[in-house]
Amino acid sequence: MSSLSVRIAASLWRKRTYDRLKLHLPKEFCELPHMPYPSDTPTYIPKEQFVRYVDAYIEHFNICPKYRTLVQSSEYDEASNCWVIMAHDQVSGLVIEYAARFLVVATGENSEGNIPKIPGIHDFHGEVIHSSSYKSWNHYGGKRVLVIGCGNSGMEIAYDLAGNGVDTSIVIRSPLHIMTKGLIRLGMKLSKWNIPIKFVDFILVTLAYFFFGDLSKHGIIRPNMGPLFLKAKTGRSAVIDVGTIELIKKDVIKVFGPICCVRENAVEFEDGKRDYFDSLVLATGYKSTANTWLKNGESLLNEEGMPKRDFPNHWKGENGLYCVGLAMRGLAGISYDAKRVAGDIKSIIDSMEPF
């Protein structure tokens, strides 16, 4: 069942991503269960090709999503031992009640853009958008743009802007790892061979230093934890460089630290610096909205709508409640969750006495 008022699958990929987006991980780590990519698929898949893969997946397995249907609430009914879901059909206007023995929360960790609480940002005199609304540099010719956030989206948006002549700055507030696509692919392959994660991280950090040098003089500090351990522990991914670092080194992209406040079209930073911008792009991540409609989900999700338990024991709650795609592990994590949830449901059904 879709919780979005759309009539297409993968709507966020189609409508809420920038034009130049490619999957940041190699295709072998981005497959959905039981359907590999065609042999001629590039290693790093453009978003249009990934959307076609999703469409083919739906057709191949005869999946029939219920589009244009907004879930209003879901609550466990102890009398019937079922989850009761109330959903608004936007085509007919009717509110439909569903009852299910099992409920899988699969609305994603990127349901809604996270808007930071920056003093004065709502009074900014220029344009403020979340990165989910950014498409390309074309809209920003002749403007001064500040990208707030330095994850993969923020870094790639900054590269798209600056690489096309837009006066671009970026806020880097926290330590982060900078990797190449090849290094991440190497790390994931070594991990699959059960090589200790600390040793793999040591290799990656050493090679990254060889590729990029000391980036601290450019405002980029490396975390104390290695990239793979940091991802496993906190869900924070390394930044996969697409050319942004070279532009930062050349001062084509200017780096600022944490923001203090916004005043009209000026941004003041905690180190006392101040600069003027026409547009702010908030590459500040996303958040889950599962708790807005799910009741009685305390066995599975925390207050932020994310799993209470750590990976790999995060996907199962009580009373037939499960989640898929909330472990901050990308498409590989979705595949992992889906297989375990499906297997668990099957084992429960198989153990039930026939009617």
Task: Express each pLDDT in 324-353 by its tens digit.
Answer: 999 988 899 999 999 999 999 999 999 987
pLDDT confidence of residue 257: 97
Residue-number span of the structural domain to which 62 is assigned:
11-111+288-351
Same domain, 224 and 267: yes
Q: Give whole-number Cα distances, 91 to 99, 282, 322, in Å.
A: 21, 33, 28
Domain count for the chain: 2
- Rounded CA-CA distance 291/334 in Å is 19
pLDDT at residue 140 greater than cutoff 80:
yes
Domain boundary among 252, 286, 320: 286
222 and 138 share one domain = yes
Domain holding 59: CATH number?
A: 3.50.50.60
Give yes or no: residues 131 and 248 share one domain. yes
Asked whether residue 16 is domain-assigned, the answer is: yes
User: Is 6 a member of any domain?
Assistant: no
Collect contacts of 339-343 with beta carbons under 8 A, ≥24 apart: 339/33, 340/315, 340/316, 341/104, 341/315, 341/316, 342/33
Query: CA 72, CA 249: separation in Å to the nearest integer?
Result: 49
Whether 126 and 255 map to the same domain: the answer is yes
| Domain end residue (candidates: 259, 286, 313) | 286
**Residue 4 domain-assigned (yes or no):** no
Closest alpha carbon to 23 in 45, 52, 2, 41: 45
Res. 110 pLDDT band, cuts 50 70 90: confident
Indicate whether 197 and 140 sit together in one domain: yes
Are 178 and 40 found together in one domain? no
Identify the pLDDT of residue 294. Answer: 97
Both 29 and 64 in one domain: the answer is yes
85 and 196 within one domain:
no
* Residue 183 placed within a domain: yes
Same domain, 296 and 281: no
Shared domain for 204 and 315, answered yes or no, is no
Which is more confidently placed, 249 or 9? Answer: 249
- Whether 133 is covered by a domain: the verdict is yes
pLDDT at 5: 52
C-alpha atoms less than 13 angstroms from C-alpha of 168 in its C-beta half-sphere: 28
Predicted pLDDT at 2: 46
- Domain end among 256, 286, 316: 286
For residue 146, count CB atoms less than 10 angstroms from its CB and return exposed for 0-12, middle for 13-18, buried for 19 or more: buried
Burial (Cβ within 10 Å: 0-12, 13-18, ≥19) of residue 140: buried
Which residues neighbour 21 within 8 Å (Cβ) at sequence distance 6 or greater? 46, 47, 156
CA pair distance 164, 74, nearest whole angstrom: 47
> 274 with 290: CB under 8 angstroms?
no
CA–CA distance, 169 with 166 (Å, rounded to integer): 10
Q: Does residue 325 sit in the same domain as residue 237?
A: no
Q: And the tokens for 11? A: 């709507």
Residues 91 and 194 in one domain: no
